[in-house]
Amino acid sequence: MENKLVIYNTLSRKKEIFKAIKPPFVGLYVCGPTVYGDTHLGHARPAITFDLLFRYLKHLGYNVRYVRNITDVGHLENDADEGEDKVAKKARIEQLEPMEVVQHYTNMYHENMRKLNVLPPSIEPQASGHIIEQQQMAQAIFDKGYAYESNGSVYFDVEKYNKENNYGKLSGRNIEELLTTTRQLEGQDEKKNPFDFALWKKANPEHIMRWPSKWSIGFPGWHLECSVMSTKYLGEEFDIHGGGMDLLFPHHECEIAQTKIANGKESVKYWMHNNMITINGKKMGKSLGNSISLDEFFEGTHDLLKKAYAPMTIRFFILQAHYRSTVDFSNEALQAAEKGLQRLWNAIETIDKIEVTEKTTINTDEFEKKCYDAMNDDLNSPILIANLFDGVKMINSIADGKEKITADDLTKLKNIYHLFVYDILGFKMEETDRSDNKVYKQVVDLLLNLRLDAKSKNDFETADKIRNELHKLGFVVKDKKDGFEWELEGK
Ligand code: ZN
């Protein structure tokens, strides 16, 4: 097993050599989506970032248990301890049962992940399936004296925890700062301190997602599910916890505090956070009106989009930036990603046509090492992609006869591309990406444009002939107001 992987640990704020707690096993937990709305570009980034990590760890020979949860209860508006549950709100507006909302958007999320070629996690637990375990953990924290009951709700006592522990160590905040910045919202007077957070909430009469407990009929606090499900499926200590940077505070900070008290020890060895996606330099968000769903990207139906972008273009766009850097969305950036990916596909097609010789003038070992070095350096996908582009030049030089390669080295070169492009970066070549496929499409379009010309000149004989001959070959042609549409039946 390679042991050169270095990852940046948000907790220590430095790069550390990755060492599994119990090799060859690796426990990986990533905070998944709250399923109350469309899957957005913002969901794609953590999914793709940790898919890259999952794929690479598996390639290095680890047996990875990857747990990515589905939040379907307890996540309230504005990530606060007061307000409506995001799922329940959607259910109320759409007049649906909350679990219908959950199922619908979970299906949508899965479909979008499949299109992005994001591998499914090993376990995908739902918060609503772990209500009893959440009550048990809240009880354990209560029994240890770090939680208090107030009006049927149970809150974590942050001030008490902070006496012996450092609350805020992950996000770099401290209690004094929190006291001045945390707003005292209406209804929060049940808390001792505004920064205390809910482990269990008593449900208001209008709150429809509710379960019985010894404290009240209510629901678990949002942060508790991840502490519970990571402990349940990965154990009291596990290797990596990931998520978006927007979850650093308060979500992950609360997770650390809860788990430390409930289990009596720190649970996570490495914390990893992906940065955010901005749109034309601005934060992306539903309330800002600039949040684009993945379906809108794939269909080109949002006002900010000049055209439709394929799922692999989105994947390339995200991976051509390092996961800890921000990515700024623009049509130009996506079109550049589209071209970049096409360059890789062209190179892969060129490799297949290369003729071998008796000797090799390029250094495949050095090339392979550079690719591994990039991945080992905190999953540096942009450097890996840059190396693969350098390789494209090398491949073209071989194809032009300026450089030479033996059969063995050619196999090696093919394997390097296969490994890094398909298996690790997770790109998938669609039929439409093949250059010969593009040419064939252009030829069909050409014929159909000739048919339109013929029709406009009242030459219906030629027009019908083109249509009928294409039909015999299995093409279904549909006339449209502004042209035509065609497909090859059964394809
Ligand atoms: Zn979480």
Residue 76's DSSP bridge partners are: 85
Q: Which of 180, 336, 171 is nearest to 256 (CA)?
A: 171
φ, ψ of residue 278 in degrees (nearest 5) = -110, 160
Give me the mean pLDDT over the 416-444 stretch: 85
Determine the pLDDT at residue 189.
76
Side chain identity at 115, as an amino acid letter?
Answer: K
Give CA–CA dist 172/131, Å, rounded. 31
Distance, CA 201 to ligand 1 centroid (Å)? Answer: 18
Question: pLDDT band at 3, cuts 50/70/90?
Answer: low
Say yes or no to pLDDT of 119 above 80.
yes
pLDDT per residue over 226-248, tens digit each?
999 999 999 999 999 999 999 99
CB-neighbour burial class of residue 213 (10 A; exposed 0-12, middle 13-18, buried 19+): buried
Determine the distance separating the centroid of ligand 1 and the alpha carbon of 247, expressed in angstroms: 7
How far away, in angstroms, is 329 Cα from ligand 1 center? 26
Ligand 1 centre and the CA of 433: distance in Å?
Answer: 37
Q: How far is the CA of 375 from the centre of ligand 1 (A)?
A: 26
Residue 377, beta-bridge partner list:
6
Determine the Cα–Cα distance for residues 212 and 218; give it in Å rounded to an integer: 6
> What distance in angstroms lies between residue 71's CA and the mean position of ligand 1's atoms?
8
Confidence of residue 196 (pLDDT cuts 50, 70, 90): very high
d(CA 404, CA 130): 60
Using the mean position of ligand 1's atoms as its centre, give its distance from the Cα of residue 189 in Å. 26
476 C-alpha vs ligand 1 centroid, how far in Å? 49
CA 231 / ligand 1 centre spacing (Å)? 12
What pLDDT sits at residue 313?
97
**Ligand 1 centroid distance, CA of 179 (Å):** 24
- Ligand 1 center from residue 10 Cα (angstroms): 15
Q: Give residue 435's pLDDT band: very low, low, confident or very high (50, 70, 90).
A: low
118: DSSP letter? P
Distance separating alpha carbons of residues 8 and 6, to the nearest angstrom: 7
Does the domain made of 6-274 have the CATH classification 3.50.50.60?
no
Query: What is the distance in A from the centroid of ligand 1 to the CA of 218?
Result: 20
User: What residues have CB less than 8 Å from 325, skipping those under 6 apart?
Assistant: 275
**Cα 30 to averaged position of ligand 1 atoms, centre (Å):** 7
Tally DSSP H helices, then E strands, for the chain: 16, 15
Q: How far apart are CA 470 and CA 472, in angstroms?
A: 5
How many A from CA of 126 to the centre of ligand 1? 11
Return the structure tokens found at 166: 């450092």
Residues 6 or more apart whose Cβ sits within 8 Å of residue 85: 73, 74, 75, 76, 77, 98, 207, 209, 219
Residue 131: both structure tokens together: 């209500």
Cα 271 to middle of ligand 1, angstroms: 12
Angle between helix axes 381-399 and 331-353 (nearest 10 degrees) is 40
Handedness of CA 414, 415, 421, 422 (dihedral sign): positive
Q: What is the pLDDT of residues 155-176, one digit of tens each?
A: 999 999 999 999 999 999 888 7
Instruction: Give 256 Cα–ligand 1 centroid separation in angstroms.
Output: 11
The answer to whether 7 touches 270, Cβ cutoff 8 Å, is yes
pLDDT in tens, 242-301: 999 999 999 999 999 999 999 999 999 999 999 999 988 887 766 666 789 999 999 999
Q: What is the pLDDT of residue 51?
A: 98
Where does the chain hold its CATH 3.40.50.620 domain(s)?
6-274
Question: What pLDDT sits at residue 1?
Answer: 47
Mean pLDDT score across all residues of the chain? 91
Give the distance (Å) from ligand 1 centre to CA of residue 6.
24
CATH code at 279-432:
1.10.730
pTM of structure: 0.88
Delimit the CATH 1.10.730 region(s) of the chain: 279-432
> How is 202-249 classified by DSSP, letter by letter?
EPPTT--S-B--SS-SEEE-TTHHHHHHHHHHH-SSEEEEEEEGGGII
Residue 277: CB atoms within 10 Å: 22
Q: How far is the CA of 462 from the centre of ligand 1 (A)?
A: 64
